[in-house]
Structure 1
């Protein structure tokens, strides 16, 4: 999880400008969700929610549109109306026709909502997210324990759900000694609204919690999982099992766990080709480092964002160390399957210097480049990357 460039070198914007307004509303949605959930909240509203309502009303009045009359009305907008139908001006390509801030089925903030929130320079969501990961890096670096940092990152990817007893057991493992107390800050009690029949239920594909729907079905927050069809029901925890069920915080599930699945999938694909990929080198300078048979080194940053324009706006140059010959930004195939112009949009919204020095490709495209490099070095054909059906 490398850094982002939210707000870097951007023009000051008036409060009701389209970009600024969407960031404000997205932050308000997250604030309300963090307090009591989007279904139940009471007066007084958080300051950001009132600010979002006021600025949205102003934008509507300036354009002769009917404004939302309350925060509840604004949340209905966020759930029912794609942002492209709001009375605001956005740069061409920055939003897609189905982009919403609240999921219309599950009534929770969408991935896009978090991405808009971190697009602002003072994003509390990004600051908290980065501060916790930075704390883990610093502690492991101080202890000269890169293996501990790698174990921590794998835990967040492979186990976004733990029981309280299991979390305590993991915290006592030698690899987690430098991270004393950190798991308690990032694994919090699972939301009671996700209980059905006294149990929390896991998605068998991505191992996070499923949200029960009114029609009796399940909703998975993982976009790749939803792209594959109905969520497969996995293990069910009794509500009080193991001292209670804990869930990794949503920003970390979105910005660490989700791309982490793609990182581990890339690691497995490279290993099947006989390479030895290094994950999160030098305490997460970037995500994957591979050395080709001819000695060339490729550095990879994996990003799994719903909005390619916001990803492009926030992409930064990879750090120069550990050294490499070429830098790649790799996006999961499900993103390009859902939106064929995804890679092109990312590139269009990148800073020119970042665009010139970073190759943006899908997972499939990157693996094709790896196979071509191996065929050139080995003088023989290399088989296609086999699809995986048992991982998210």
Structure 2
């Protein structure tokens, strides 16, 4: 994820193919209602009168159902049950074929938390500052570090957001002593918040052993990780526990940063490690995040790679755009984590169908396919083969 994703899926850039469907703006309204309820009252604790966005979503779903001769939800609790129990494809609303996959829910059935699919539709349909807070934070860091000509400060800031989504009071004090983070300290203060009560388990808080975000305790026992990539690998391993002493002043990244910076950032770091295990040096976020990874082969050939960890391949296709050309490279790629394609075998096909014909975006590959291609290129180099250049 780079700054080229700045507005994710701006409404004004939407393909005209989807505009005639009244269900598309309705889906965005629904997603906004779910996210805002989760962030304010919680999805199970609201009372009458309903929040304005939630009431608007309910009214529009009821109208859509009545126009189609379908039974509408009887109230907001019933509507949220739909969000949790019915894939969007099964709703009686008019949606284009690629708007949702067969297993796309707005609310996760296990945790009752908004899904990444929900967040992506929320961001796409919203012009609110809250929906783009993560982009404002990242752009602010780029601007400050550019002005000071401190690329290492930007790299340190991105590394903080990716690898330290939870901080104790002692760790926050430690950060104040890091000279590279000094230019972006006000942005760091805006990026973290006190931990919401929903993450509190019987013995305190527990981080995911894979992505380091806090786990959500489930009512029936066990834990749930909010990152799709972790859940795709099975039950989350229990990571660092935070007992009562540390929990008092514990802070976590705000939800938009966890969802759209930490999550993709973990996929970026995973791909970096895969390239390095193949024997290739990698620079992260070069040129103040012009793209995610700069991979250099022994013959000087350079790959530029942007990781696109998106749940919705159609929205990803509609966001397709050329890769920035500085720092320079010889070939460019978009990489999607393999778990996205395993969950949706039509992922690349849906992406391709929704990519504008004139987008000139780099080709989309899975992370493992891209590393396999890099290993093949290395073997050919070591074997003295002549490699045709694009």
Q: What TM-score does the superposition give when structure 2 sets the normalisation length?
A: 0.91
Match for residue 377 of structure 1 among 374, 378, 381: 381
1:267-306, aligned counterparts within 5 Å? 267-306=272-311
Q: Does 1:46 align with 2:51?
A: yes
TM superposition shift of 1:42: 3.0
Contact 2:142 2:288 in 1 (8 A): yes
Report if the CA contact (8 A) 1:190-1:245 is conserved: yes
Q: Which region of structure 1 is more displaced relative to structure 2, 42-51 or 127-136?
A: 42-51
The question of 1:358 aligning with 2:362 is answered yes
Contact 1:201 1:237 in 2 (8 A): yes
Q: Tell me the secondary structure at the aligned position of residue 13 of structure 2.
A: coil
Partner SS for 1:93: helix
Contact 1:16 1:56 in 2 (8 A): no
C-alpha contact 2:9 2:123 (8 A) present in aligned 1: no
Q: CA 1:288–1:116 in structure 2 vs 1: closer, same or farther (change >3 Å)?
A: same
- Aligned with 1:289: secondary structure? strand
> Does residue 1:77 correspond to 2:82, yes or no?
yes
Question: 1:389 maps to what in 2?
Answer: none
Where 1:353 maps in the other structure, the secondary structure is coil
Q: Deviations over 1:330-388 (max 9, x none)?
A: 0111112222222222222112223x44110001110122122222322279xxxxxxx
Q: Give, in whole Å, the separation in 1 of the partners of 2:247 and 2:96.
A: 50
Kindly state the Cα deviation for residue 323 of structure 1 after the two structures are TM-superposed. Answer: 2.2
Aligned to 1:27: 32
Distance 2:166 2:361 in 1: 38
SS at match of 1:176: helix
| Structure 2 counterpart of 1:235, from 237, 240, 243 | 240
Preserved CA contact (<8 Å) 2:284 2:293: yes
Call closer, same or farther: CA 1:12–1:305 in 2, change over 3 Å.
closer
The answer (yes or no) to whether the contact 2:309–2:337 under 8 Å persists in 1 is: yes
The Cα of 1:16 is off from its aligned counterpart by: 7.9
3-state SS in 2 of match to 1:352: coil
Judged with a 3 Å threshold, the aligned counterparts in structure 2 of structure 1 residues 243 and 173 are, in CA distance, closer, same or farther, namely: farther
Equivalent residue for 2:388?
Answer: none
- Aligned mate of 1:7, from 8, 11, 14: 11
For 2:23 and 2:332, the matched residues in 1 are separated by 33
Name the residue aligned to 2:171: 166
- Structure 1 unaligned segments of length 5 or more: list them: 382-392
C-alpha distance in structure 2 between counterparts of 1:258 and 1:139, whole Å: 24
Alignment match, 2:266: 261
* In structure 2, distance between residues paired with 1:380 and 1:147: 37
1:341 paired to 2:375: no
CA distance in structure 1 between the aligned counterparts of 2:352 and 2:130, rounded to whole angstroms: 25
Partner of 1:62: 67
In the alignment, what sits opposite 1:385? Answer: none
Question: Aligned pair 1:115/2:120, yes or no?
Answer: yes
Task: Tell me the number of residue pairs that the alignment of Structure 1 and Structure 2 aligns.
Answer: 380
Judge which range, 280-289 or 4-13, deviates more: 4-13
Q: 1:137 aligns with which of 139, 142, 149?
A: 142
Q: Give CA-to-partner distance per residue, 1:289-346, whole Å, 9 cap, x none.
A: 1232333322111011122222222233222222222221101111122222222222
Q: What runs of 5+ residues in structure 2 fail to find an aligned partner?
A: 386-390
With over 3 angstroms needed to count, the CA separation of the structure-2 counterparts of 1:378 and 1:151, relative to structure 1, is same
Q: Deviations over 1:200-259 (max 9, x none)?
A: 011112211111111221111122221222221122112451652211112211211111
Q: Could you give the per-residue CA deviations for residues 76-125 of structure 1, whole angstroms, max 9, x where no partner exists?
A: 21111110111112221331122110111111111111011122262544
Partner Cα distance (1:124, 1:18) in 2: 24
Q: Secondary structure at the match of 1:88?
A: coil
Deviation of 1:46 (Å): 3.0
